[in-house]
Structure 1
Amino acid sequence: MNFVEELTWRGMLHTIMPGTEEMLNKGMASGYIGFDPTADSLHVGHLTQIMTLIHFQRAGHKPFALVGGATGMVGDPSGKSQERNLLSEDVLQHNLEAVKAQLTRFLDFDSGMNSAEMVNNYDWFKSFTFLDFIRDVGKHITVNYMMAKDSVKKRLEGDTGMSFTEFTYQLVQGYDFYYLWKHHNCTIQMGGSDQWGNIVTGTELIRRKDAGEAFALTTQLIKKADGTKFGKTESGAVWLDPERTSPYQFYQFWLNTTDVDAKAYIRIFTLYDREVIEAWEAEHDAAPHTRVLQKALAKDITIRVHGEAEYEKAIKSSEFLFGNVGIEFLSELNDAEVLALFAGVPNFTISLTELHEGISITDLLAVKTTIFPSKGEAKKTIIGGGASINKVKIATADDVYNADALLNGKFIVAQKGKKNYFLIVAE
């Protein structure tokens, strides 16, 4: 497998330094991508770089995942309109451990010569004094060179300016490349296209400081076909941590991809080979309503991030809401999973004490909650057979419900028609 050709047909390659492909074709090379621990989980925006390392390793090369314990203390100005808040050492350490655990699920750390390795740049910066840094690193890169970078120019031209801390970020990242080149034989750094300036600073430092040769490659920044930011939903970022984004919500994010985006994403975010993908694309073009691309995309990524069992549960969750899976399925979920399943529908809270005493169905649907605008409207719909509790049609408008109706001792699922769900939580 040719690494550059693989990225190219998948639509991932953005910029490549001359000589890079020739260097990679000579044999096993070592290369790295950095991940700053600004949160205690990676999100789907990081998946492009994770996939880049996966392809790099599958092509027979040795991947290094750099977790930025030091650079996370500084903050990368690339693509940012203002300086971000600095994190404490305790928070950074917590984030580092979480990110490390996630990365180990994607890369093979026991494959022999090209086993993946994880490094933390805090290990080589913790004893590096400021005076040593400006003498041994700063003298090799001119201010003119640093100010010519787009990430710097945009900030200097803006209203907020740039602190010296962020201005020096490219030197810090450049030294990372130098250190890994010097001590781990890393000859290539990869990253998103917004990292090009920082990456080539590293190659320049290697050249000026030790007359060495290093290479660079960047991937496309992923956007939706409509130009909006990839990886964002109404509720925020889509995280890899199931505590932040449930496997069901994660699965739905990919399943709800547009047809145009699905054709791009299935190449970028899955490991299916070209023939399989092109066959699915032809099948999709012939019958778009089957959503074959979205289903294959969502399946592959959900299994690799959350595992087969969570994927199966996500399928059943979808069928519960949109198919024929019965109410008993909720007993397989914990409280957090139930709330995640109904995160996109109206939620209401009622008194557990009142429920023990019994609440008439019209009060439950129109007084204790606002599922219906009035008791009269609720009664009319019930008589017409259009309202259900726990997937069972309400028999009469005079029915009274008590705590026996609670699922998992806490929830009641109401429906108005077949598709309009409401979750009632008893507290």
Structure 2
Amino acid sequence: MTYNSSLLRLLDERGYIHQMTDAEGLDALASKQVVPGYVGFDATASSLHVGNLVSIMLLRRLQQAGHKPIVLMGGGTTRIGDPTGKDEVRKMLSNEAIEANIASIRTAFERFLTFGDGPTDAVMVNNHDWLGQIGYIEMLQKVGTHFTVNRMLSFDSVKLRLEREQPMTFLEFNYMILQGYDFRHLSETMGVRLQMGGSDQWGNIVNGVELARRMDSKEVFGLTTPLITKADGSKMGKSVSGAVWLNEDALSSYDYWQFWRNCDDRDVGKFLRLFTDLPLDEIARLEALEGGAINDAKVILANEATKLCRGEEAAKAAEATAAETFAGGGLGEDLPTVEVNAEGIRLGAACTALGFTASNGEAKRKIGEGAVKLDDATMDDPGLLITVPAGETRKLSLGKKKHGILKGV
């Protein structure tokens, strides 16, 4: 389909569009007025991760095309738990923990979006502000009558859990009702006309579109992105060492840079389109590079993606650290660092402390495979006690791409 609006042309050219509830209607609306659109994020941790990044970039593209992005934080729905893709009941968080998580997550959004009071400035809202006020009987009367259990049981988020004979609480079963009500509330109070999200949220988004039509006779729209996976089939947001967090206090800028630098050759073009602002003609040139030259494109990807998330100085420092570590054989200042006191630290524990491995058991396996080096010498004893004189440093490496500093204190 050929789109008339700059919004859908932009999203289409960069590979964001998977499904839309009414492509022609949304295209026509976006061609004639500012469209307020939102994406919802639950606050289950103090940072979002790279798996959330395509949704954040959707909001950025919305703003770049002259429309209004709305970040919906699930202060209310986090208390329920989205069952989509989950086999277990989500652990309950305290109100204080949820509020702290939302405050921490906002700092990442401020890198990607321009917040303010203007017609296309981003705003952040919290659905606990309205979900926390509505009474149970009122919710049943106003909203519950528009949902059938038959339809709710047909959604993958419910069906897959039941097929696997995993318990689903009545609390979780209500999640899709609350998410549908969010869309209806935002359309009523803020004129929101568009909800966006990942392909796994299609059913929940359609529920909100239908609820706004049934309750208010309003036409609103839904758009989802394709499931973003890496070339090896694994999910975005994960690395060998765990989640690739967006907040710097959860993951160093060097490790964030390295995630992009180490991507598969086949992913370079797709990631440049989705996760950077580089022009499409420049991306076409970069993804056509072959052989060793593709590494130049990966460095550009890492710089551009890190610049958006952490700032230009962080990107420059990470690139300089990588160049010094790999080319010069030195120790760049931006490498992950663990302080070691006079008592020393065991080799396996050091691997885990630096984030190379998720557990001491995994560290033991890596050491047994001969993948761990201390000052460029292969080590084979997980229990080796490493000592570092105060003020001095030693280098610990896992494979060829992960390096860290042990600093004596």
Give the TM-score normalised by structure 2: 0.83
The answer to whether the aligner puts 1:83 opposite 2:89 as a matched pair is: yes
- 8 Å contact from structure 2 (residues 70, 123) kept in 1: yes
Sort the Cα spacing of 1:421 and 1:280 in 2 relative to 1 into closer, same or farther, 3 A. closer
Sort the Cα spacing of 1:343 and 1:189 in 2 relative to 1 into closer, same or farther, 3 A. closer
- 8 Å contact from structure 2 (residues 388, 394) kept in 1: no
- 8 Å contact from structure 1 (residues 266, 293) kept in 2: no
Q: Counterparts of 1:29-40 in structure 2 under 5 Å?
A: 29-40=35-46
Q: Which runs of 5+ in 1 are unaligned?
A: 346-364, 375-400
The structural deviation recorded for 1:336 is 5.3
- 8 Å contact from structure 1 (residues 67, 100) kept in 2: no
Sort the Cα spacing of 1:180 and 1:323 in 2 relative to 1 into closer, same or farther, 3 A. same
The structural deviation recorded for 1:256 is 0.3
Map of 1:314 onto structure 2: 318
Map of 1:280 onto structure 2: 286
Map of 2:306 onto structure 1: 302
The structural deviation recorded for 1:320 is 2.4
CA RMSD of aligned residues (A): 3.1
Map of 2:394 onto structure 1: 412
Q: Counterparts of 1:150-169 in structure 2 under 5 Å?
A: 150-169=156-175
1:286-345 Cα offsets, whole Å, 9 max, x none, are x44441321111001111111122112211211222122755x54x88955999996549
Map of 1:251 onto structure 2: 257
- Matched residue SS, 1:119: strand
CA distance in 1, matches of 2:330, 2:308: 28
Sort the Cα spacing of 1:16 and 1:425 in 2 relative to 1 into closer, same or farther, 3 A. same
Map of 2:180 onto structure 1: 174
Which one of 67, 84, 88 corresponds to residue 61 of structure 1? 67
- 8 Å contact from structure 2 (residues 303, 315) kept in 1: yes
The structural deviation recorded for 1:141 is 1.7
CA distance in 1, matches of 2:65, 2:401: 47
- Matched residue SS, 2:255: helix
1:4-33 Cα offsets, whole Å, 9 max, x none, are 121222122110112222222222111110
Amino acid at match of 1:35: F
CA distance in 2, matches of 1:33, 1:402: 48
1:114-156 Cα offsets, whole Å, 9 max, x none, are 1111110011112211111111111122222222222221122
Sort the Cα spacing of 1:424 and 1:117 in 2 relative to 1 into closer, same or farther, 3 A. closer
Amino acid at match of 2:75: G
CA distance in 2, matches of 1:97, 1:422: 30
Map of 1:7 onto structure 2: 11
- Matched residue SS, 1:110: coil
Amino acid at match of 1:297: L
Based on CA coordinates, which of the two structures has the bigger radius of gyration? Answer: 1
CA distance in 2, matches of 1:34, 1:268: 19
1:352-390 Cα offsets, whole Å, 9 max, x none, are xxxxxxxxxxxxx99xx995679xxxxxxxxxxxxxxxx
Sort the Cα spacing of 1:227 and 1:337 in 2 relative to 1 into closer, same or farther, 3 A. farther
Moved more, 110-119 or 214-223: 110-119
Sort the Cα spacing of 1:422 and 1:317 in 2 relative to 1 into closer, same or farther, 3 A. closer
- 8 Å contact from structure 1 (residues 35, 66) kept in 2: yes
Q: Which runs of 5+ in 2 are unaligned?
A: 341-349, 358-372, 382-386
Identity %: 39
The answer to whether the aligner puts 1:267 opposite 2:273 as a matched pair is: yes
Give the TM-score normalised by structure 1: 0.79
Map of 2:51 onto structure 1: 45
The structural deviation recorded for 1:420 is 10
The structural deviation recorded for 1:424 is 5.0
The answer to whether the aligner puts 1:109 opposite 2:120 as a matched pair is: no
Amino acid at match of 1:33: V
Q: After TM superposition, what 4+ stretches of structure 1 lie above 3 angstroms from structure 2?
A: 287-290, 332-345, 369-374, 418-427
CA distance in 2, matches of 1:334, 1:78: 34
CA distance in 1, matches of 2:176, 2:379: 58
- 8 Å contact from structure 2 (residues 269, 284) kept in 1: no
Q: Counterparts of 1:178-193 in structure 2 under 5 Å?
A: 178-193=184-199
The structural deviation recorded for 1:53 is 0.4
Sort the Cα spacing of 1:242 and 1:419 in 2 relative to 1 into closer, same or farther, 3 A. closer
Which one of 28, 32, 47 corresponds to residue 26 of structure 1? 32
The structural deviation recorded for 1:208 is 1.1
How many residues end up aligned between the 2 structures?
371
